[in-house]
Amino acid sequence: MVDKTLEQILLKKFNYRTFRPGQEEAILAALQSQDSLVMLPTGSGKSICYQLPGYMKEGLVVIVSPLLSLMQDQVEKLKANGERQVAALNSLSSRAEKNRIFKQLHLLKFLYISPEMIQFDFLMQRLKQLKIALFVVDEAHCISQWGMDFRPDYLKMGEIRRKLNNPTTMALTATATESVRNEIKESLHMNHEETQEIIHSVDRKAIKLKVAICDGNKKERLTELVNQLKGAGVIYFSSKKLADEIAETLRTDHGLKAESYHSDLTVDDKVKVQQQFIDNTIQLICATSAFGMGIDKPDIRFVIHYHMPANPEMYLQEIGRCSRDGKEGIAILLFEAGDQYLQMRLQENALPDESLLNYIYKNNLKIKAEQADPKVQIGQFYVNAEIPYNVALYQIQNREKLKQNQLDYMLKYVYHTGCKRAFLLHYFDEAVMNKPANCCSSCDPSLEQHFFSEDIERTNKNTEKLDWKTRFKQLYKIDEESMN
């Protein structure tokens, strides 16, 4: 039963007529001051879940977000919708800006803040004096996902929440298995029984799934594909260097409008590339996983992975940028035997080994600002939290096993001959309901051809590929005689 008042506010403030699945339940939980864990697929309008109740409740909505681009993006969107009482506090804010926001904190409706910034004592003191309508932890799976974006600071949000006197909390995520969801609740000190879980399927039926196993010809397969696929696309790489190189090749050798995007770009360049991609001046983005959070381009038609991602969560998150407009798109994973070792190497560099952890504990190394090495950072986190050495070691070793299992699952996904969609959903304890047409490369071996440019001209999708003479004739309506 849709609440009419809520719908009126939805129209007035956000210019939408109807709620998307899950939104209304999340809003109602917030309005009833009930803690919630909300899992909605990427692109399903998660921000409305906390912004709308923000307008109906007295007090400030604090949104902790791990990603700066996402924060900026949300602030700009709210401002464009006429909201003036919104600000973001993070490492990009200038000192003057911080001071200004700090002084006007009591006037704000929405405060976006990085997990590092919210820990500052003076800020916490001020926040404690204010009425907090809702405490939102965005991308909550980062609490558990000790991967590339891991920040020890995210694990402190439970403590922050307690210091703020346990305000109504909403943990938001797009992809989390049941065990990760439990970990989120535990870490945020949310009551297991009383927290409302609003879980929607991670399955995005508009996105068709293909795995292409290559045999020493991955680059060729990639260029072939991007020359044929229609619409805008993102190609994900695990290496910045390769992202640069391939973008260059696609531009110079194939005349494609391609740019690379990764953490070495300046903020200005990032914004420029994003904007050009959104208005279709750029057709292809060669990116590392730094790209995509908060990018609201509805008509991305394909996402290609040049390297296999570390886990199904990350894969789903990244392909989720495809087809936000609900029209069909394709996710293609290019795989070459041995690719898994690249991920293994990357993972080895993510967690401290026994001797490093031992060294950090012996020397009682504590966290200092701007630590470079994430491995050291993780060790220091445990020292800071005064967790005994043996417990820390046990947890880190468990973490390593978990990561290995996740990578194994990706590898099995690659070689799985049954339905790829069913296999991927199984990881999230889900089954396929109403299998879509052209589901995956196991269900339809010539899947990608539905997404090739020639398709537009073909009247019958099942026609065999025509030779050049016939196509030429069709195009120019030339009859047989004049060709010979």
Rounded to a whole number of angstroms, the minimum distance from the CB of residue 444 to Zn ion is: 8
For Zn ion, the closer of residues 198 and 419 by Cβ is 419
DSSP 3-state assignment of 128? helix
**Binder among 419, 424, 425, 447 for Zn ion (CB under 5 A):** 419
Give yes or no for a contact between 251 and 284, defined as CB atoms under 8 angstroms apart. Answer: no
Confirm or reject binding of residue 333 to Zn ion (CB under 5 A). Answer: no
Taking contact as CB under 5 A, which single stretch among the options 179-187, 218-226, 387-395, 412-420 is the one that binds Zn ion? Answer: 412-420
Min dist. Cβ of residue 436 to Zn ion (A): 8
**Cβ closer to Zn ion: 143 or 443?**
443
Residue 363, C-beta contacts closer than 8 angstroms, at least 6 positions apart: none
What's the min distance (Å) between Cβ of 435 and Zn ion? 6
Least separation in angstroms between CB 319 and Zn ion: 14
Site string for Zn ion, 90-129 (x = CB under 5 A): ----------------------------------------
The smaller minimum CB distance to Zn ion, of residues 170 and 207, is found at 207
What minimum distance in Å lies between the beta carbon of 420 and Zn ion?
A: 5
Structural tokens at position 236? 């994900």
Among 161, 181, 321, 421, binds Zn ion (CB under 5 A): 421
Between residues 133 and 440, which has the closer beta carbon with respect to Zn ion?
Answer: 440
Collapsing DSSP states into helix, strand and coil, what is residue 466?
A: coil
Handedness of CA 247, 253, 254, 255 (dihedral sign): positive
Binding piece for Zn ion, criterion CB under 5 A, among 299-307, 375-383, 421-429, 454-462: 421-429
Phi, psi of 75 (to 5 degrees): -65, -45
Complex with Zn ion: residue 101 or 330, whichever CB lies closer: 330
Nearer CB in complex with Zn ion: 243/422 = 422
Give residue for tokens 């604090």.
62
**CA pair distance 126, 103, nearest whole angstrom:** 10
In whole angstroms, the minimum distance from the beta carbon of 210 to Zn ion comes to: 10
**How is residue 338 written in tokens?**
């041995």
**Shortest Cβ distance from residue 442 to Zn ion (Å)?**
5
**Tokens describing residue 458:** 């073909």
Residue that is written with structure tokens 């959903």 in the block: 425
Q: Measuring CA to CA, which residue among 314, 96, 60 is closest to residue 168? A: 60
How many residues lie near Zn ion (CB under 5 A)?
5
Tell me the closest approach of the beta carbon of residue 202 to Zn ion, in angstroms: 15
Q: Which is nearer to Zn ion, 68 or 303 (CB)?
A: 303
Cα dihedral 32/141/101/13 (nearest 10): -50
Which residue's CB is nearer to Zn ion, number 395 or number 449? 449
Minimum distance between the CB of residue 209 and Zn ion, rounded to whole angstroms? 7
Cα distances from 239 to residues 41, 60, 186, 292, in angstroms, run 27, 40, 34, 16
DSSP β-bridge partners for residue 197: 37
Please say which residue, 392 or 424, places its beta carbon nearer to Zn ion: 424
In degrees, rounded to 5, the angle at the alpha carbon of residue 267 between the alpha carbons of residues 319 and 311 is: 25
Stretch that binds Zn ion, among 148-156, 251-259, 401-409, 419-427 (CB under 5 A): 419-427
Could you tell me the smallest distance in angstroms from the CB atom of residue 418 to Zn ion?
8
Tell me how far CA of residue 39 lies from CA of 200, 277, 454, in angstroms.
Answer: 6, 28, 38
Alpha helices in 322-433 (DSSP H): 339-348, 354-362, 374-384, 389-415, 420-427
Of 195, 187, 188, 256, give the one whose Cα is nearest residue 223: 256
Q: How far apart are CA 254 and CA 286, in angstroms?
A: 14
Report yes or no: 238 and 343 within 8 Å, Cβ to Cβ: yes
Site string for Zn ion, 425-464 (x = CB under 5 A): --------------xx--x---------------------
Residue 227 CB, shortest distance to Zn ion, in Å, is 26
Of the candidate spans 47-55, 138-146, 305-313, 411-419, the one that interacts with Zn ion by CB under 5 A turns out to be: 411-419
| Block residue for tokens 């005064």 | 386
Q: Which stretch binds Zn ion (CB under 5 A): 30-38, 117-125, 258-266, 415-423?
A: 415-423
Q: Which CB, 226 or 425, lies closer to Zn ion? A: 425
351-410 residues near Zn ion, rule: CB under 5 A: none
Residues 6 or more apart whose CB falls under 8 angstroms from that of 158 comprise 187, 188, 189
Looking at beta carbons only, is 172 or 439 nearer to Zn ion?
A: 439
- What is the closest distance, in whole angstroms, from the C-beta atom of residue 439 to Zn ion in the complex? 3
Nearer to Zn ion, 62 or 319 (CB): 319
DSSP secondary structure of 143-156: GT--STT--GGGGG
Residue 111, phi then psi, degrees to nearest 5: -120, 115
Secondary element (H or E) of residue 51: helix 46-56
Residues in contact with Zn ion by the rule CB under 5 A: 419, 421, 439-440, 443
